Amino acid sequence: MPWAAPALLVAAWACLAAGHPAASPATPMPAVLTAMQDELDRSTAVLSKTDPPAYFISYTLSDREYTEVSGSNGALLTSTTDRARWLEVQTRVGSYQLDDTHKLPNRRPSWTSPGTQAVLDDDIPVIRREIWRETDRQYRAAVEALIKVKASQEVQVQTAEGAAPDFSHEEPHVSIGPRVEISVNRKPWEERVRKYTAEFSTSPAVLNSIVTFTAQANNQYQVNSEGTRLAFGLIHYRLELYVQSKAPDGMDIDRYANFDWLDPKGAPSDKAVFARIHTMIQETEALDKAPLVNPFAGPALLTGRAAAVYFHEVFGHRAEGFRQKDITEGQTFTSKIGQQILPSFISIKDDPTEASFHGEMLLGNYPFDDEGVPAQNVLLVDHGVLKTFLMSRSPLVNIPHSNGHGRRQLGYVPVARQGNLIVSSSRTMTNQQLRAKLIELVKEQGKPFGLLIDDIAGGFTFTGRGNPQAFQVLPLVVYKVFPDGRPDELVRGVDIVGTPLVSLTKIVATGDTPEIFNGYCGAESGSVPVAAVAPAILISELEVQKKETSTDKPPILPPPAHDPEAQGQKP
């Protein structure tokens, strides 16, 4: 599934700080949680005895404060502050083994989750009334769904994993943390986005620039009939820089960068932002003039950021547990637990409990997943051998419990998703040694050049059986590396393509300096914040294809600020 396109990236869930705000005996029970628990007790007492019974009920209320300041080409676009609450009620009817959520043949699953906007006031009677109405709606819908599920069981062919329970029984957890809040003065940020986007406009190559600052505080409250009671807060600040250009042949040139921080005092300095802007301008101007690369298969070196996205797309999505259960999925790794799928020097874990890596925040950090299960460090690959999958509360036959990876965007149903995917290697080289090895492979294979892929925007992968089991990764900065010692040549117009089982075995060496890619990943349960960490990797054979392009030519006239006639000057 794709990472979110850079232009559409928005701030969402992140972490407050390393370790998260701990539950304290002195932390009072929030009024909203009291209302949720009172109504849960009442609903459970009645609906657990109806026919059919509601064997599991869960209430989640998300309270979001959000500030956004955005500018373009030296002027302000938007400046807003907002707060909203969203209530989600889940009633599961039937049993853990077979319930109303069971997937039916010949019917596309619904990934969206019913919910409703909730009042902002901590008025217990009013909140309980809203929960009562939503519970009744969801119970009635679940009863109708269960009737269809039971009817389908008589004609449905069951696979081995299809016979696994529909829902896992988990131990209850109680954690009541303090409410988190943000207080943002938008005026300084309005001036900053004006300055930053005006700086982009100093280049005639820049067609458009957008800079967006976002600050978000999310307080999540959750109770369920198993006994879980949670209240925790998450804060995240982000600054995004985005610039658009167009090459003479019509190809769109996009560059993107972002800064993420947790403490208001951690905002990047103007010096750091302007330095990044100038680098982006230089790369944009160079890419406008860079030659195109024809389809190619040969040695390639991916820097750490590029390798991080590569592992997220090629491996990470196929290690999500619910895909092993769905007969419509390609199930690339379903039968490969205990087997070698990567070189023996590579290990991979997904650890959303880590708030930072080498001092830089990890966007996929969270204390509890969206099903009320504590985040857990999961070793997925140990020295090349697949060990397990990322699990939500949709169990597999041999993996009956969640490992804290049930995640979703508001309004979607949680499924197993990546958090912080971290790749490590027991056989590393310096950057200089990796480059030398790349040139050695180019000579051995008789290729005219190899590729150095320095930055990547994102990518996507196909995991369903109805599509080829392939992935596509979208590089931004690519160089040709020549075996005869000529300087590297910046090129454009390539996308990385391949199939996972072959591509993963082509990794022959790794670097010694891991790098981080923070982004947003879109899949069945919506867009969720994730991070990927990886060292540089050397691939003996990587295939690239021509990048999709536009037939539109660049603007006929230069930007007004770079047109002598527009400024009343003679050309």
Location of structure tokens 């002598």: 564
What ranges in 29-158 are assigned the alpha helix state H? Answer: 31-47, 124-153
Three-state DSSP at 272 gives helix
What value does the mean pLDDT take over residues 273-281?
A: 97
Structure confidence at residue 536 (pLDDT): 97
Cα(85)–Cα(125) distance, integer angstroms: 16
Q: Is the pLDDT of residue 49 over 70?
A: yes
Average pLDDT value over all residues in the chain? 88
State CA 12 to chain mean position distance: 10
pLDDT confidence of residue 383:
97
pLDDT at 208 over 90: yes
pLDDT tens sequence across 294-314:
888 999 999 999 999 999 988
- Token look-up 């874990």 returns 349
Choose among 402, 66, 79, 72: nearest CA to 238: 66
pLDDT band at 20 (very low <50, low <70, confident <90, very high): very low
Q: What's the confidence (pLDDT) of residue 464? A: 56
143-147-152 Cα angle (round to 5): 145
Q: Is 568 helix (H, G, I), strand (E, B) or coil?
A: coil
87 DSSP β-pair partners: 61, 116
Type and span of the H or E element at 38: helix 31-47
Say how far apart CA 117 and CA 155 lie, in whole Å.
Answer: 39
Residue 60: exposed, middle, or buried by beta-carbon count in 10 A (0-12, 13-18, 19+)? buried
The domain spans of the chain are 6-289, 296-546
Residue 135 has pLDDT above 50, yes or no: yes
pLDDT greater at residue 12 or residue 368 = 368
Report the pLDDT averaged over residues 92-106.
88
Instruction: Find residue 238's DSSP bridge partners.
Output: 214, 260
Q: 250: pLDDT confidence band, cut at 50, 70 and 90?
A: confident
User: DSSP assignment of 430-487, as one string?
Assistant: -HHHHHHHHHHHHHHHT-S-EEEEEEEEEEEE--BTTS-S-EEEEEEEEEEE-TT-PP
Q: Which residue has the tokens 């407050």?
A: 16
What the block records as the tokens of 567 is 């400024």
In this predicted structure, the answer to whether residue 530 has a pLDDT above a threshold of 50 is yes
Residues 6+ apart with CB under 8 A from 412: 111, 112, 113, 524, 525, 526
Model confidence band, residue 392 (pLDDT cutoffs 50, 70, 90): very high
**DSSP assigned state of 16:** S
Entry pTM: 0.89
Whole-number pLDDT of residue 435: 96
The full 3-state SS of 375-417, as one line of letters, equals CCCEEEEECCEECCCECCCCCCCCCCCCCCCEECCCCECCEEC
**How would you classify the pairing of strands 526-534 and 515-523?**
antiparallel
Give the whole-angstrom CA distance, residue 12 versus residue 65: 11
Q: How many CA atoms lie within 13 A of 374 on its CB side?
A: 11
Average pLDDT of the segment spanning 106-126: 83
The DSSP call for residue 288 is: H
CATH topology of domain 6-289: PmbA/TldD fold (3.30.2290)
pLDDT average, residue stretch 398-424: 95
Identify the band that residue 158 occupies on the pLDDT scale cut at 50, 70 and 90: low
Report the pLDDT value the prediction gives residue 220, as an integer from 0 to 100. Answer: 97
